[in-house]
Amino acid sequence: MLSPTLTVMFKYVSAGSEVIPGPLATYVLGAMQNLASALKAANAQVPATKTVVYDNGLHYSNLFDAMVDSVFAALEKVQASTVDIVVSETGWPSVGNGNFRNITNAQTYVNNLIAHVSSGSGTPGRTGKDLETYLFVLFNEDQKAAGAEQNFGLYYPNMTEVYHVNFPA
């Protein structure tokens, strides 16, 4: 008797939260944690090198641009398309309660953000438009309760770098 061999190769994994709100909403966090653990155990990479959001003919490779353009779209809906927006704070914690809160990810996010907004490329919905953006925050805040909120700084309170930031000249 021949024993069948089954080879399964996944090309994509899609996870959603459509059950929120609803009676199954309490299971979403656990399901997402299980999915993240399974992907990590399989040594699966989750790159964001392609479109992560597709909306109304626009392709977004990062959620920052998608969120900014959603504000522009909302302004257009209320006939306020001439209003400029400023991103008053954005950042990534270098420490905290989670696997994705670490120095490597914080440095990657901040340096990619700086390169992006200083390039003058704009967003898919506002190509070529400069976007005034401010990082949260210059120093880690050791007076806050321990956790992620305390660790968004580019510098420790003693003025040493948490990680190197590539500011344009």
Judge residue 60's burial from the number of C-beta atoms within 10 Å of its C-beta, 0-12 exposed, 13-18 middle, 19 or more buried.
buried
In a domain, 19, yes or no: yes
Residue 55: predicted pLDDT? 84
Residue 67: predicted pLDDT? 92
In a domain, 35, yes or no: yes
**Does residue 36 share a domain with residue 88?**
no
Residue 126: predicted pLDDT? 94
Residue 7: predicted pLDDT? 65
Low-confidence ranges of the chain (pLDDT < 50): none
Nearest to 58 by CA among 103, 67, 107: 67
According to DSSP, the β-strands at 87-90 and 133-135 are: parallel
In a domain, 65, yes or no: no
Residue 161: predicted pLDDT? 97
> Is 90 within 8 Å of 136 (Cβ atoms)?
yes
**Does residue 86 share a domain with residue 30?**
no
**Does residue 40 share a domain with residue 91?**
no
Nearest to 129 by CA among 61, 77, 81, 63: 81
In a domain, 68, yes or no: no
**Does residue 41 share a domain with residue 92?**
no
Residue 12: predicted pLDDT? 56
Total domains, the chain: 2
Q: Which residues contact 142 (CB under 8 A, 6 or more apart)?
A: 150, 157
Residue 118: predicted pLDDT? 95
Residue 143: predicted pLDDT? 86
In a domain, 92, yes or no: yes
- Kindly list the distances between the CA atom of residue 64 and the CA atoms of 30, 110, 123, 131, in Å, as whole numbers in the listed order: 26, 12, 9, 11
pLDDT digits (tens, 9 = 90+) for 90-136: 999 999 877 889 999 999 999 999 999 999 999 999 999 999 999 99
In a domain, 121, yes or no: yes
**Does residue 86 share a domain with residue 26?**
no
In a domain, 76, yes or no: no
> At 135, phi and psi to the nearest 5?
-80, 145
Q: Which residues does the annotation mark as catalytic?
A: 18, 89
In a domain, 51, yes or no: no
Angle (CA) 55-58-63 rounded to 5° is: 70
44's tokens? 């699966």
**Does residue 95 share a domain with residue 41?**
no
Radius of gyration of the chain (CA): 20
Q: Which domain holds residue 18?
A: 14-46
